[in-house]
Chain A
Amino acid sequence: MNDKETEEMKVVSPDAEAEAGAGEVKTDSASYPDLLTVSPSPHLRNHDSTRSVMTEVIIALIPALVWGVITFGLRALTLTLVSVVACVAFEALAQLALRRRITVSDMSAALTGLFIALNMPVSAPLWIPAVASFFAIVIVKQVFGGIGKNIVNPAMAARVFVMLSWAGQMTKFTAAGARYPFFGNVAGGYDAVASATPLAALKSGNVPDASLFDMFTGKIGGCIGEVSTLLLLLGGIYLIVRRIITWHIPVAYIGTVAVLTYAFPKTGDAVTFMLYELTAGGLMLGAFFMATDYTTSPISPMGRIVYGIGCGALTVLIRYFGGYPEGTSFAILIMNLLVWYLDSAFKPRWFGASTLKRREREKKKKEKTEKAA
């Protein structure tokens, strides 16, 4: 450092600042710092952060949540608040207990909470989302090492956990237009239990009562956030346009389900059956939001396609032959476990690999001709 010069400039600076006045550009007021920062390149960063990425996903989910509130009543909001607050609180507590830095401000816990609520039937008792939040954040996420380290999607794992544990409450789906209030006793007289959900009908080989238009717009029974194909599609497209996710997983996932259900329809017209399968259950929520969860999906483009195909095939298999009407959660959980293998098996082709290969081929050809000669 040029100490002398720096010192002199520092002495000069206060006077110069006073002279320069408030409105003018302060020309001589700045001086060199005592120490310059030395760091490895690059010296520029973009403005995205983990927090901004998570916030974008939350924004993309808001239409689906609003639709859930419209169709099922304000209680959808109550459940969401419970699970979001529980997730954030459990994350902070777990990080305190594990002596980690508290990172609730990165919004990832809030997002998990939102996912949990969207995967609940509106009639679920309030303690279920709380238990699910505990399982998602503490067991699945923090015990495995926190953000970026969990091997399965926390919200999916939690949904499966509570669904298997309290099957009665978790599979009691409410018909659209039930209007549950913000507070209130669920067991009361609301026409809580709808007839079979579209998925259950499809499973038994019947065409659902709801029209395809109702299925698409979301005037059907089901979980809070999964009913409106249209709004989830919009949210998913928003994420792709904002470059939060890439097209690979949703296209491969939905495409595989479409091809398989079209090829092997259980009932009636193949196209109609396929469209019912695509709009029923949690497929859209799963393909655009759950399967694309960063931590538990591959990062290589080819790996993402294979992962999407795997999710789609497993979803259809479970829907056709499994014990449950819905297969998305199980399919995604199973594929989550394969992520590392998919990434290392389907690495992107290195820049220059084609040239090296061509050179090798030419070399072999040359050797062959030389041998022949």
Chain B
Amino acid sequence: MFTFKGGTHINEYKLTKDFPTEKIGAPERVMISMSQHIGAPCTPTVAEGDRVLAGQVIGDVAPDKLGCPVHASVSGRVAGIEQILGASGMKETCVVIENDGTDEQFDGLAPFEGDITSATPDEIIDVIRSAGITGMGGAAFPSYAKIRSALGKADTVIVNCAECEPFITSDHRLLLEEPEHVVGGLKIIMIALGVKRAFIAVEDNKRDAAGVLRDTVGGGDMIRVCLMKTKYPQGDERQLIYALLKTELPMGMLPMDAGCVIFNAGTCSAIYDAFTSGLPLMKRIVTVSGDCVKKPGNYIVPLGMRVSEIVEKCGGLVKEPRKIIFGGPMMGKSEWSLNTPVKKGTSAILLLSEAFESKPVKDPECIRCGRCVKNCPMHLMPAYIAQYSRIGNMEMAKKFGAMSCVECGTCSYNCPAKIEIVQYIRSAKNNIKAEERRLAALKQSGS
């Protein structure tokens, strides 16, 4: 069993792990954001009134910039190009498509021709880019860029199926239902990178999935299915690499520096689909869960479907939700709008009632119990960083390692005094970065 030092076991709440994935009917309108991934946002390549087909490119970025195209998830007429406020509070451009219900597919889509095993890295990277595939675990980093930057440097591929966040079961279901897609995608990545070693990391609360994967992988020692201890944040890339390879990756270094590239299970499956059916990334599995939905489950949702419509298709509400969270409850973002559309990185939509909300404490005082220190996966002393951040002493916050924080939230979760530790650290990090930028600017203008 592989594990790391620190972290904490959180009540799993995997309510939907036995619910097979279900297709959800496409809505009448989809809002497809042009900021699906990390990097430069896409520019729409269609105009209002155009008819688009499912799988057609509707937004793209310049090839020299980080980013990949976005495709229409339904066929229909472009009703408009709108600006909406995204989860981060920044304006995002959205292409709104009115679904005509025919689901007519773009005819330019074709499976990869020829033998994949003898394909060149560039060919593979090209297919992955034009299929618009990004990391599907949450951060949504364009996959082609990850592969390209790892060419010649990586010797190990890790498939992250840890799914250490509570509630989320989308990867679990994918592994159970389509293990050959995940393993197939992994094999394509291995061919592109020319590596001979791969790990599929599964937390031990998904032993059934690990068994299915082992059967799919079959013999050979190139791909190993590894059981990880169920502990948050097992799915964090640094902890994953440490658990599997015992290499500590400090903040500021990338998995590549340890010879690793990490892909999410969903990403592998999407890559496989792009090669075998030619379909770009235009739908994904989303876990809809929480105590407020009538029919929680794992649904295949077209990109651009809005929260309110998804909930409606899931039978509506049973309780008044207090928070709607995109992603897991530990690192996900709480949404302020019911209009927010599903994106490539949306692994779950959680509707939590006030039962899940801890009562806010006014002026919480640290009692120095040391739980944040004990559980910090980066081995920091979060209580001190938070205290220094609170009184505005950024220099000391930095000395105590503020910049090494991965913001996993384990400290805040465990804090008996209910201090927003991780939020104080975020604020310290932002202040330190701002100060560094200011100094750099001063230096530049001075010279």
Chain A residues close to B by CB (< 8 Å) = 1-2, 5-6, 25-33, 35-46, 48-50, 52-53, 101, 108, 146-149, 244, 246, 294-295, 297-301, 304, 343-344, 347-356
Chain B residues with CB under 8 Å of A44's CB are: 10-11, 166, 329-330, 356, 413
A32 to B293, CA, bound (A): 11
Assess whether B378 is in contact with A351, with CB atoms less than 8 Å apart.
Answer: yes
B51-59, B76-84, B202-210, B244-252: which one contacts chain A? Answer: B244-252
Assess whether A50 is in contact with B370, with CB atoms less than 8 Å apart.
Answer: no
Name the residue of chain B whose CB is nearest to the CB of A347: B381
Assess whether A43 is in contact with B318, with CB atoms less than 8 Å apart.
Answer: no
Could you list 18 A-B pairs, sorted by A, with CB under 8 Å? A30-B317, A32-B338, A36-B324, A38-B334, A43-B332, A44-B10, A44-B11, A45-B412, A46-B414, A108-B367, A147-B365, A294-B368, A295-B368, A344-B400, A347-B400, A348-B380, A352-B404, A353-B250
Assess whether B370 is in contact with A36, with CB atoms less than 8 Å apart.
Answer: no
Chain B residues close to A by CB (< 8 Å) = 10-11, 166, 238, 242, 247-251, 253, 258, 292, 294, 308, 315-325, 329-339, 350, 352, 356-358, 362-363, 365-370, 372-374, 376-381, 383-384, 400-401, 404, 407, 409, 412-418, 420, 422-423, 426
Q: Known contacts being A347-B381, A351-B378, A352-B249, is A31 close to B413, with CB within 8 Å?
A: no
**Option from A30, A299, A304 in Cβ contact (under 8 Å) with B320:** A30
Assess whether B316 is in contact with A28, with CB atoms less than 8 Å apart.
Answer: yes
Assess whether A36 is in contact with B317, with CB atoms less than 8 Å apart.
Answer: no
Name the residue of chain B whose CB is nearest to the CB of A108: B367
Beyond A148-B367, A148-B417, list 12 extra A-B contacts (CB 8 Å).
Answer: A1-B338, A30-B317, A35-B336, A43-B325, A45-B418, A149-B365, A244-B369, A295-B368, A348-B381, A351-B242, A352-B404, A353-B250
Q: Known contacts being A299-B381, A347-B381, is A352 close to B251, with CB within 8 Å?
A: yes
- Among A1, A30, A294, max chain B CB count under 10 A is at A30
Distance in angstroms from B355 CB to nearest chain A CB is 11
Q: Known contacts being A53-B367, A294-B370, is A43 close to B334, with CB within 8 Å?
A: yes
Q: Known contacts being A30-B318, A356-B250, is A53 close to B422, with CB within 8 Å?
A: no
Distance in angstroms from A104 CB to nearest chain B CB is 14
Chain A residues with CB under 8 Å of B319's CB are: 30
Assess whether B356 is in contact with A353, with CB atoms less than 8 Å apart.
Answer: no
Assess whether B377 is in contact with A45, with CB atoms less than 8 Å apart.
Answer: no
A42 to B409, CA, bound (A): 5
Q: Which 8 A-B pairs have the closest CB atoms?
A: A352-B250, A42-B409, A299-B370, A45-B358, A30-B317, A48-B416, A43-B329, A351-B378
Chain B residues with CB under 8 Å of A348's CB are: 373, 376, 379-381
Chain B residues with CB under 8 Å of A349's CB are: 379
Q: Known contacts being A36-B334, A300-B373, is A30 close to B292, with CB within 8 Å?
A: yes
Name the residue of chain A whose CB is nearest to the CB of B332: A41
Assess whether B322 is in contact with A36, with CB atoms less than 8 Å apart.
Answer: yes
**Option from B367, B379, B412 in Cβ contact (under 8 Å) with A50:** B367
Assess whether A26 is in contact with B367, with CB atoms less than 8 Å apart.
Answer: no
Chain A residues with CB under 8 Å of B404's CB are: 350-352
Chain B residues with CB under 8 Å of A50's CB are: 367, 416-417
A39 to B336, CA, bound (A): 10
A230 to B387, CA, bound (A): 39
**Option from A1, A32, A40 in Cβ contact (under 8 Å) with B321:** A32
Chain B residues with CB under 8 Å of A35's CB are: 336
Name the residue of chain A whose CB is nearest to the CB of B13: A44
Chain A residues with CB under 8 Å of B337's CB are: 1-2, 36
Distance in angstroms from A215 CB to nearest chain B CB is 32
Chain B residues with CB under 8 Å of A298's CB are: 370
Q: Known contacts being A28-B316, A32-B321, A147-B365, is A42 close to B331, with CB within 8 Å?
A: yes
Assess whether B369 is in contact with A40, with CB atoms less than 8 Å apart.
Answer: no
A280 to B376, CA, bound (A): 38
Name the residue of chain A whose CB is nearest to the CB of B363: A101
Chain B residues with CB under 8 Å of A39's CB are: 323, 334
Distance in angstroms from A143 CB to nearest chain B CB is 15
Assess whether A40 is in contact with B374, with CB atoms less than 8 Å apart.
Answer: no
- Among B362, B369, B400, max chain A CB count under 10 A is at B369
Chain A residues with CB under 8 Å of B420's CB are: 40
Chain A residues with CB under 8 Å of B308's CB are: 2, 5, 32
A223 to B278, CA, bound (A): 81
A215 to B412, CA, bound (A): 44
Distance in angstroms from B247 CB to nearest chain A CB is 6
A64 to B334, CA, bound (A): 48
Assess whether B250 is in contact with A40, with CB atoms less than 8 Å apart.
Answer: no
Assess whether B323 is in contact with A37, with CB atoms less than 8 Å apart.
Answer: yes
A27 to B319, CA, bound (A): 8
Q: Known contacts being A295-B368, A347-B381, A351-B248, is A41 close to B331, with CB within 8 Å?
A: yes
Assess whether A350 is in contact with B250, with CB atoms less than 8 Å apart.
Answer: yes
A149 to B323, CA, bound (A): 34
Distance in angstroms from A142 CB to nearest chain B CB is 12
Name the residue of chain B whose CB is nearest to the CB of A6: B338
Assess whether B416 is in contact with A41, with CB atoms less than 8 Å apart.
Answer: no
Assess whether B320 is in contact with A33, with CB atoms less than 8 Å apart.
Answer: yes
Chain A residues with CB under 8 Å of B11's CB are: 44
Assess whether B414 is in contact with A41, with CB atoms less than 8 Å apart.
Answer: no
Chain A residues with CB under 8 Å of B324's CB are: 36
Name the residue of chain B whose CB is nearest to the CB of A293: B368
Assess whether A350 is in contact with B379, with CB atoms less than 8 Å apart.
Answer: yes
